[in-house]
Structure 1
């Protein structure tokens, strides 16, 4: 796997950083992509040092909702075949108001952050995907399957439908497309400042294994789907939620 190239969006913190570290450890060269240069650079330096492969990871600062900035990623790839694209960029937006204008702005921001980022990055890199053997992985959320997140749930569910279509389009080239759908994962920015002890306990109690997830739980699932071992797995949604949602 030493010649493989992976691109991980939202790779500066939490799940994205854990995914990047796992792929570097597997011998991949990794580009971590995100909006915050300092956060990305710090993550790349830390992962490079911890893995003993500082040359294997680079940071690319780009707002993936902006087509003009997505081009930065293509330029960083530099004509190499891309083996793995992990679309992890996303986030939750709170509505500023309950007016129709406020609702519209919240939905647009949520769809841009969680769906458009994945679409633009994947389409920009689509010509470069290794044929055969490329991997496209979308990081969704348990909210797509059980609801409760309003615009966020709808945006993450949209990734599932798009993944099915993309899997059919890319399947003849033996490129796989899959979704990883995490449940409650502590130690991430997603819940920073929003999680109470009561909320934490409630979410843990909803699992069958009696604990919160950690970023490495998701990273290990991505690691498998990104590997040559998963060549016969495509068009699937892999729930990584401790059993809080079963079989869908």
Structure 2
């Protein structure tokens, strides 16, 4: 059993799976949380093998927009202190904004997927967060800083304001709260079949380093913020975007 416990939402694929593997390699036991039980189980088994520590990664299937399903995560924690919560669940959800009803459904879906999931998971685990030393990390998006994603941009930007409030609330207990804001990351399910070679090339050209990000780039930032070395870093938004948006 690892000395620390981490919970990673959206942990079945892409950035979430890379984060889970990185934290497991750092010695954490990891719970990967998501809606697709089969994907999560396969990922947990693969990450176990890759980190070389049997049972290091476990899967918990739950829809984090449903308050009643959060009990599954709390039960899986089994009374252990939670050292790290990584809120990575979310994504861009399309819709039909041609009517007011369609617009409302589109916005609610994006707010639920990107904001409510983070709020409910964090609130459910708040009593279990290690004091002192707990870490809450929110995965945002470059779209929160430069726009371009409509309801998705607004939802990710909402995480920033909430993180500032939560950092102020939990700081006296020596719990840090930070945001990682990725730029364009290839090798994920985010774009589905929407990405074209032209779109990829345009996004790479917008960086200063001339390449797309990969999930391990984001995982490295999360691993730092989750580590004891980041105990004096809180209330921050860390852009990991190859220079597509400069810090400010």
Fold conserved between structures, TM > 0.5: yes
Give the match for residue 62 of structure 1: 62
Hey, what's the Cα distance between the residues in 1 that align with 2:184 and 2:217? 11
Hey, what's the Cα distance between the residues in 2 that align with 1:59 and 1:29? 11
Give the match for residue 72 of structure 1: 72
Q: Does 1:164 align with 2:164?
A: yes
Residues 123-174 of structure 1: CA distance to partner in whole angstroms, max 9, x if unpaired? Answer: 0000000000000000000000000000000000000000000000000000
User: Alpha-carbon deviation of 1:73?
Assistant: 0.3
After TM superposition, the structure 1 = structure 2 runs for residues 87-126 of structure 1, keeping only pairs within 5 Å, are 87-126=87-126
Give the match for residue 39 of structure 2: 39
Give the match for residue 28 of structure 2: 28
User: Alpha-carbon deviation of 1:97?
Assistant: 4.2
Hey, what's the Cα distance between the residues in 2 that align with 1:96 and 1:46? 38
User: Alpha-carbon deviation of 1:16?
Assistant: 0.0
User: Alpha-carbon deviation of 1:96?
Assistant: 2.6
Give the match for residue 10 of structure 1: 10
Hey, what's the Cα distance between the residues in 2 that align with 1:97 and 1:135? 37
5+ unaligned residues in a row in structure 1: which ranges?
A: none
Residue aligned with 2:190, SS: helix
User: Alpha-carbon deviation of 1:55?
Assistant: 1.0
User: Alpha-carbon deviation of 1:191?
Assistant: 1.3
Number of residue pairs matched?
248
Residues 182-220 of structure 1: CA distance to partner in whole angstroms, max 9, x if unpaired? Answer: 000000000120100000000000000000000000000
Q: Does 1:173 align with 2:169?
A: no
In the superposition, the TM-score normalised over structure 1's length comes to 0.99
Give the match for residue 52 of structure 2: 52
Hey, what's the Cα distance between the residues in 2 that align with 1:211 and 1:54? 35
5+ unaligned residues in a row in structure 2: which ranges?
A: none
Give the match for residue 147 of structure 1: 147
User: Alpha-carbon deviation of 1:89?
Assistant: 0.1
Check conservation: 1:47, 1:54, Cα contact below 8 A. no
User: Alpha-carbon deviation of 1:50?
Assistant: 1.0
Runs of 4 or more consecutive aligned structure 1 residues displaced over 4 Å after TM superposition: none
Residue aligned with 1:191, SS: coil
Hey, what's the Cα distance between the residues in 2 that align with 1:247 and 1:96? 34
User: Alpha-carbon deviation of 1:179?
Assistant: 0.0
Give the match for residue 127 of structure 1: 127
